[in-house]
Each structure stands twice: as structure tokens, then as C-alpha cells.
Amino acid sequence: ELFDGLMEASGGGARLRYESAAGACTPFVAALRRLADAGERPTRLRGCLSGTLGAVSTWVQAGEPLDRAVERAQSEGLTEPDPVEDLSGADVARKALILGRTAGWRIDEVDLSPFEGVGETAVPRYVATVEDGAASVALEDVGESDPLRGLSGTDNGLEVATRDAYRDSPLFIRGVGAGASATAAGVVADVVDLLNRRA
């Protein structure tokens, strides 16, 4: 109800910007809005939405123990003030809700599996999936043909399948997903976009 109210009060989202809430400075929200403007209805969203957990996964995959990788991410300013917020998956679940609602689904809950067992998978990725109005977040061991396999460090990636143009070959968007400068760049871009629309 709050999301619907914000969208309605802002002219269908025309005066509402929240890119940094879902992808730092990577334009996931902008891409979904552009697809909607073109009449493209998403059928599935799938992606890695935490630069923090992406970095931790990369380091663990390279042989670093999980606790040391988390400490490293915290010392580099990549985690939430309490890293448990990242490891619980709550941050990724929020982003899945934001993107799912932006894509037009009325989602209230996310089936959430915490970030566990990362050292037990060969190519670990913490993946959010939104499809048919349902959202889930879980650790996956991605295969060779999976576009999420190519992500490293703080990269985020979102694969968008639609009913028509991107049905057989989904759109894939990739970019930096963590860090103060990346998030600040996303906020600045949103502010500039709103100012340009008023001009």
C-alpha cells in the first residue's frame, strides 16, 4: 500500500527516483521503467543485488575463509554497519521487492534463505529471483552459461526476461553494486534527472 501510494502521489512514479535503493549507480530501475514505457512486460527478474556479498563470494571462491572475507568487506566500507544485515539476506530481499514492484508485481513477501554454505559451492552467487509474482533469495552454484557467473568483486547483475523483445535472449545489466561513491553517484544521478524534468 505504501509503494502504491508513493507511485500515485508522484504521478505514476514520474517524480519519484529510488535507483540507489536497488542498484547503487547501476540503472536497474531505469531499465525496468524504460521497458514499461515500450510496452514490454517482464516475466522474470534474476540477479545478484548485493555488491557486498558479491565481493565476499569472490574472496571465498579464491580461498579466503568466510569470516576473514566479511571482516575485509567491513574494513573496506562495503557492509552495512552490522554485517549481519548483509549475511541474513534482508538487504537483497528488500531490493528484490523494490525491483519486483517496479516491474509491476504486487509482492509482499520474499522466500529468503540466508547467505550460508558459501564455501561449499564452486561458483557461489547469492541470487534474487522474481517470477509470476513470487520472490525468492538463495545461494546458488551457477553454471558456465549463467551470466551471473561472470560477476566478480562488487559487481551487481540483473537479467530481465520479457514477453516479447527479451523473451529468448534476456536483457542483462551489470555494474558496481557497493561502496559509498557508487551509491552517491546513483543519488546524484536521480537528483539531476528530477531537476532536468522540471526544467
Which cell goes with 152?
566478480
Q: Which residues of 13-49 are buried (b: 16+ CB within 10 A; e: fewer)?
A: beeebbbbbbbbbbbbbbbbbebbeeebebbbbbbbb
User: What angle (nearest 5°) sits at the alpha carbon of residue 55, between those of residues 26 and 157?
Assistant: 30
Catalytic residue among 17, 46, 95, 101: 95
- Annotated active-site residue 101? The verdict is no
Q: Which residues of 111-143 are buried (b: 16+ CB within 10 A; e: fewer)?
A: ebeebeebeeeebbbbbbbbeeeebbbbbbebe
Annotated active-site positions, please? 95
